[in-house]
């Protein structure tokens, strides 16, 4: 028995050796690349709490010799943090959540029903993904400034004699309205993800529900929505993160409200108002602190949801 074992062991040993080598190589690769990815986060943390003295000190690399909360407090004030956070939640995050709901509904219509214009609508869906919002930003902004529905309001205004077209700039409606209508930030991609997911779902459940007398709307609410939690989670996380990070549209639509992303994109000017030279090394402490404050809520959300998120990515099958 022992002899037999000895005979077979070289092959096993070889297998074991290769598997060890593979896993060592894998870890080396992953750690190296992972280091590059996580590096900016460590850098932000390190610089945010660094005292002015240490910026000129060549010996300070990772760990500062003097710690300070000055950078943080400047960044806090420059970002208008509490108000900015509240405004961002009220406009960006709410519209991000609205977008998830509306996109899921429209995607269901595209995935499960047949009607004449469907091909055309699918074509437009691809177009909305392909043509970036940046291309049409000017008319979009003008559209928000003088909001109108195919010239109807202008016509009425001409008859009455006063301009009744509302100005949606600087109001959250500039974000809500496109989100409700499913044409907000990256909505095309979200609808696409939902369509692919619904198409991959077995039809039998829905058919059974409709035989039992449930209408399409009830079927959607009580069968489809509860069984597509994975898709909802993925899209919600993407939507919230992209809305949070978006500064293009924010800068266009909000010229005088405190939105975190807008304040962050003007942070160099804002920081210099606190007596920091924006070209000096030391101002990067406050700037990095602002970046850290900006990503902090998303980081917390990510930490809470990441396990579910990673699992959902395994199962959502975005391309079907």
Partner 1 sequence: MGIKIKKKKRGVEALKSRYGRLFVLPWEIGLILFFVMPIINSIRYAFSDVRIVSGGVDTKFVGFKWFDYIINQDPDYLNRLKDAVGVFLVQLPIILALSLILAIVLNQKFKGRIVMRAIYFLPVIIATGVIIDYLSKSGMIIGATSGETAGTYGNMINFDKILENLGLPDELNELIAGYISGIFNLLWNCGIQIILFISGLQSIPDSLYEVAKVEGCSKWEEFWYITFPMLGQNILLVMVYTMIDLITTRKYIMSMAFELMSGQQVYDKSSAMLWLYFLIIGVFMAIILAVYNKLCLKRWS
Q: What gap in Å lies between CA 119 and CA 150, rounded to an integer?
A: 24
Report in angstroms how near the CB of residue 5 gets to partner 1 at its nearest: 26
- At 67 the three-state DSSP class reads strand
- Host H or E run for residue 26: helix 2-48
Report in angstroms how near the CB of residue 114 gets to partner 1 at its nearest: 6
Report in angstroms how near the CB of residue 13 gets to partner 1 at its nearest: 21
Report in angstroms how near the CB of residue 273 gets to partner 1 at its nearest: 17
- In this complex, which beta carbon is closest to partner 1, that of residue 12 or of residue 26? 26
Q: What gap in Å lies between CA 240 and CA 299, rounded to an integer?
A: 12
- In this complex, which beta carbon is closest to partner 1, that of residue 87 or of residue 294? 294
- At 3 the three-state DSSP class reads helix
Report in angstroms how near the CB of residue 2 gets to partner 1 at its nearest: 31
- In this complex, which beta carbon is closest to partner 1, that of residue 87 or of residue 103? 103
Report in angstroms how near the CB of residue 89 gets to partner 1 at its nearest: 17
Q: What gap in Å lies between CA 144 and CA 197, rounded to an integer?
A: 33
- In this complex, which beta carbon is closest to partner 1, that of residue 9 or of residue 32? 32
- In this complex, which beta carbon is closest to partner 1, that of residue 9 or of residue 14? 14
Angle at 241 between CA 252 and CA 237, to 5 degrees: 140
Q: What gap in Å lies between CA 272 and CA 111, rounded to an integer?
A: 53
Cβ neighbours around 241 below 10 Å, total: 15
- In this complex, which beta carbon is closest to partner 1, that of residue 209 or of residue 291? 291
- Angle of helix 94-112 relative to helix 173-180, nearest 10 degrees, comes to 20
């Amino acid at each position: 028995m022992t002899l037999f074992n000895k005979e077979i062991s070289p092959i096993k040993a070889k297998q074991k050796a290769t598997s060890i080598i593979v896993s060592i190589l894998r870890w080396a690769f992953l750690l190296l690349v992972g280091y590059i990815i996580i590096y900016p986060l460590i850098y932000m943390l390190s610089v945010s709490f660094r005292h002015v003295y240490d910026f000129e000190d060549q010996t300070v690399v990772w760990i500062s010799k003097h710690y300070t909360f000055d950078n943080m407090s400047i960044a806090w004030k420059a970002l208008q943090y509490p108000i900015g956070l509240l405004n961002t939640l009220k406009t960006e995050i709410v519209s991000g959540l609205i977008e998830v709901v509306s996109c899921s509904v429209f995607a269901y219509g595209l995935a499960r029903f047949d009607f004449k214009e469907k091909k055309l609508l699918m074509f437009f869906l691809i177009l909305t993904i392909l043509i970036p919002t940046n291309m049409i930003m000017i008319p979009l902004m003008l559209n928000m400034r003088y909001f109108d529905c195919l010239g109807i309001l202008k016509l009425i205004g001409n008859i009455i004699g006063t301009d009744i077209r509302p100005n949606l700039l600087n109001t959250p409606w500039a974000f809500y309205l496109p989100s409700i209508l499913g044409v907000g930030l990256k909505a095309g991609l979200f609808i696409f993800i939902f369509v692919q997911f619904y198409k991959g779902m077995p039809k039998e459940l829905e058919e059974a529900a409709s035989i039992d007398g449930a209408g399409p709307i009830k079927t959607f609410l009580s069968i489809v929505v509860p069984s597509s939690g994975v898709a909802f989670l993925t899209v919600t996380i993407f939507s919230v993160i992209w809305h949070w990070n978006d500064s293009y549209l924010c800068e266009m639509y909000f010229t005088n409200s405190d939105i975190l992303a807008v304040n962050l994109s003007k942070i160099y000017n804002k920081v210099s108002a606190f007596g920091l030279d924006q070209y000096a090394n030391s101002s990067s402490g406050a700037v990095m602190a602002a970046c850290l404050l900006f990503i902090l809520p998303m980081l917390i959300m990510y930490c809470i949801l990441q396990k579910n998120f990673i699992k959902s990515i395994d199962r959502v099958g975005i391309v079907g």
